[in-house]
Structures are given as C-alpha cells and as structure tokens.
C-alpha cells in the first residue's frame, strides 16, 4: 500500500514568504510524521490535472529566503467554475468532484492551501465536500481580517521604504514632486507603513479621501520651509474626495477581476496645473512582490508553516492558520470566508483615526484630507 500523501498548493498572486512556508511545513512534516508530501503546480489547475512535484529535503533546499513560489501560481483556475473545452467550445463547469477523485486515487490525505480570499473560498468549498483542508493566508496587502499580519507585507514595506529613499535623492536634486504608486488594493497598509518608514511627506490611502488642494497646500508649506521637493506615496486604490478609485484593467476569470492602476499618473497631471515644480510619477508595481523575503517575513512564514504541519498532525481540518494576539492559532474557514459565493477582498482596512495614522499626522505627514 502506497504511503499517504499531503498535498500543498499556492494560489492567487504570489507573496514573499510562500517558499518559506513550503520549506518550514515540509521540514516539520518530515520530522514529525510519516507522509509523502507533494506540491501541485500552478495552484488548483495542477490539482485538477494531477500535475505535481515531490516536496522533500532536496526540492525545498535553499528556498527559505527566496520570494515567489517553487510551485508557481495561478489566479484564474477556480475548479468550481472552470473553463473546459467541450465540442470545440469553451464552457464553464464545476470540476471539483473530478479533482476530489484524483486526490483519492493519489492517496492524498490532506490538502494545504496557501492563498488569499479567492483561493481560500475554494478551500472552504473543498472542505464542505469532505476534503481535509488547511488554509494558510497570504497577501502582501495585509488586508485579511482573520489574521493580524500576513507574510509578504513586511517585505513589501521594506521595498517601498527603500525605493522612497531612492526617490528622495533625485527629487531633491531636481526640486521635483514625485508621486509613487504602491499596491494594496482598497487597503492602505503598504502605503501607510512604507510611507512612514520611507519618510514620505504625503500618504494617500483609500480609507482617507484626498483633495488636490490639500496636496498643493502641503507642497507649498514645505516650500515655505525651504524644501523644494515633496514625496507622495499613494495606494493604487486611493480615492479623491467625491470620486472613485482608478481602474487599470479588468482581468477576466480572476476571482477579483479589477486591477487598480493609474492614480499616481492622474495626480501628477492634476498637480502640474497648480504648481511650478516639475512632477513625475512612478509605479513601484510588482517589484513590491519580488526579490528576497525579508528576515521578519521568513520568521513569520516559518511560524505559519510549522503551525499548518501541527494542524495536519492533530487533524484540525477545515481551518486556517492565523496570528492572534501574537500567537499562532487557527480559525474556521467558514468563519473566515463566510457564506460568500465569490471572493470578498480587502476587508481589513486602515482605521482613519487609528494609532498609525495619528503617528504619521503627528510627524507632519499629510493625508491631504485637511
């Protein structure tokens, strides 16, 4: 009789720390249990097609620090609404039962799913069908309500802080206004933390609508103190008072189809109508998700991975690992996702009156709301 298997997959966009979770999970399993471990390639698509690689000491060697995921990601392959070819036409079908059959044939005892809300929604649905599922939350945006911090966030904040520093020197040389657009969707965590750490003068987040007049006010205030340059850090989903977020593109088949983008260019253009300084905009983009994982995220990811292994051992299925009061715990996937049929994203947002906004304001950073 073949050994039972534990399967892992990574879904949605990547985040620094995925490899560290894979590495720590595999090590903890090998040291405490007797299963073969496999990793499906390209998220749920690999599960459907039964395409996987073995996860062992060899295949996970040296990956703790690496961003990305050795299993690859897909943010389009929802097996409950999957595109298949039938008689030459592409149709949408629920192929989850076939996927479950495939796992049974492979002797897969448990499925560990690393992903954001779209991926975890499917995880919940597989759990409802009796699959032994464990979820591990992932997003650089840090906007998942059920856990205090997600891995990848710290790395993204480091990248933003470092690159805002680079903008400072060139902005100062040219007496320019620089507008840097950062990720986060409808949550301002990356801009807020990265902006404070990177000494931004203005931070614009979706939770606090801005006005161009108030940005200009801050620029002029700095000028009156002899500072001819200003650094603005804006969340991609930031909103002008009375306006709406700037949509970059729609990605068909993605659980959350809207991609924000373009707000920095828009603000730069608007500012040029009001001030004499040159204005430039800059998109930090996917650089925030790339590169090496920060040491803090490696440690956090190791904690998530080891906790997931412990949950497999104890049979705590249908749950998601979470960080609560600084401790690794778990919460039911039903409670995390609720009854949503599709993903619900961006629900943990910045409190406009919370401590970090107050800290920033006390330091003289403007949110362009006053």
In sequence order, the 6+-apart residues with CB closer than 8 A to the CB of 328 are: 303, 304, 306, 307, 321, 322
Q: Which residues in 283-302 contact ligand F6P (CB under 6 A)?
A: 289
Burial class of 206 by CB neighbour count within 10 A (0 to 12, 13 to 18, 19+): buried
Q: How far is the CB of 188 from ligand F6P (least distance, A)?
A: 11
Kindly give the residue spans of alpha helices, DSSP state H, lying in the chain: 18-32, 44-49, 96-105, 117-128, 153-174, 189-197, 212-224, 263-272, 295-314, 333-337, 355-362
Q: Which residues in 120-139 contact ligand F6P (CB under 6 A)?
A: 139
Check residue 13 for interaction with ligand F6P (CB under 6 A): yes
Q: Which residues in 140-159 contact ligand F6P (CB under 6 A)?
A: 140-141
Check residue 259 for interaction with ligand F6P (CB under 6 A): yes
Coil vs helix vs strand at 307: helix
The site map against ligand F6P for 185-204 (x = CB under 6 A) is: x-------------------
Contact call for residues 10 and 71 (beta carbons, < 8 A): yes
* Cα–Cα distance list, 275 to 209, 269, 362 (Å): 21, 11, 26
- Cβ-based nearer residue to ligand F6P, 36 or 141: 141
Q: How far is the CB of 8 from ligand F6P (least distance, A)?
A: 20
Q: How far is the CB of 264 from ligand F6P (least distance, A)?
A: 13
- Cβ-based nearer residue to ligand F6P, 236 or 240: 236
Of 125, 141, 201, 256, which is the active-site residue?
Answer: 141
Coil vs helix vs strand at 247: strand
Check residue 184 for interaction with ligand F6P (CB under 6 A): yes
Any bridge partners for residue 233, and if so which? 180, 203
Check residue 257 for interaction with ligand F6P (CB under 6 A): no
Exactly one of 71, 113, 123, 183 binds ligand F6P (CB under 6 A); which one?
Answer: 183
Check residue 260 for interaction with ligand F6P (CB under 6 A): yes
Q: Which residues in 225-254 contact ligand F6P (CB under 6 A)?
A: 236, 251
C-alpha dihedral, 336 to 342 to 346 to 348, nearest 10°: -20
Say whether 339 is catalytic: no
Any bridge partners for residue 232, and if so which? 179, 202
The site map against ligand F6P for 60-99 (x = CB under 6 A) is: ---------------x------------------------
341, two tokens:
């049929």
Q: How far is the CB of 313 from ligand F6P (least distance, A)?
A: 31
- Cβ-based nearer residue to ligand F6P, 214 or 254: 254
172, two tokens:
């100062």
Contact call for residues 128 and 349 (beta carbons, < 8 A): no
Contact call for residues 20 and 64 (beta carbons, < 8 A): yes
User: Distance (Å, rounded) from C-alpha 204 to C-alpha 180?
Assistant: 10
253, two tokens:
């088949």
Q: How far is the CB of 36 from ligand F6P (least distance, A)?
A: 32
Binding site for ligand F6P (CB under 6 A): 13, 75, 139-141, 183-185, 236, 251, 259-260, 289
Q: Catalogue the active-site residues.
A: 141
């Amino acid at each position: 009789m073949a050994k039972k298997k534990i399967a892992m997959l990574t879904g949605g966009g990547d985040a620094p720390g995925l490899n560290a979770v894979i590495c720590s999970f595999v090590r903890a399993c090998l040291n405490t249990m007797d299963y073969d471990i496999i990793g499906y390639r390209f998220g749920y698509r690999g599960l459907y097609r039964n395409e996987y690689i073995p996860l062992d000491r060899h295949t996970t060697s040296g990956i703790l620090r690496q961003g990305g995921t050795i299993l690859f990601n897909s943010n389009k392959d929802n097996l409950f609404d999957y595109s298949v070819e039938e008689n030459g036409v592409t149709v949408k079908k629920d192929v989850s039962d076939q996927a479950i059959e495939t796992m049974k044939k492979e002797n897969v005892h448990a499925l560990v799913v690393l992903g954001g809300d779209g991926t975890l929604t499917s995880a919940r649905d597989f759990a409802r069908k009796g699959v032994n599922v464990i979820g591990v939350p992932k997003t650089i945006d840090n906007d998942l309500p059920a856990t205090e911090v997600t891995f990848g966030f710290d790395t993204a904040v480091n990248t933003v802080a470092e690159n805002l520093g680079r903008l400072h020197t060139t902005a100062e040389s040219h007496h320019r206004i620089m507008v840097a657009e950062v990720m986060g969707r409808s949550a301002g965590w990356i801009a807020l933390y990265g902006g404070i750490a990177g000494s931004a003068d203005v931070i614009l987040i979706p939770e606090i609508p801005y006005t161009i007049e108030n940005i200009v006010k801050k620029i002029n205030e700095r000028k009156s103190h002899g500072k001819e340059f200003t650094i603005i850090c804006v969340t991609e989903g930031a909103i002008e008072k009375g306006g709406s977020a700037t949509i970059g593109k729609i990605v068909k088949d993605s659980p959350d189809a809207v991609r924000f983008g373009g707000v920095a260019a828009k603000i730069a253009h608007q500012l040029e109508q009001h001030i004499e300084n040159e204005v430039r905009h800059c998109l930090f983009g996917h650089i925030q998700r790339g590169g090496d994982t920060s040491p803090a995220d490696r440690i956090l990811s190791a904690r998530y991975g080891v906790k997931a292994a412990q949950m497999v051992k104890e049979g705590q299925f249908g749950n998601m690992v979470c960080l609560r009061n600084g401790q690794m715990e778990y919460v039911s996937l039903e409670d995390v996702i609720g009854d949503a049929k599709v993903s619900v994203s961006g629900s943990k947002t910045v409190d406009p009156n919370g401590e970090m906004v107050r800290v920033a304001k006390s330091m003289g950073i403007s949110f362009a709301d006053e």
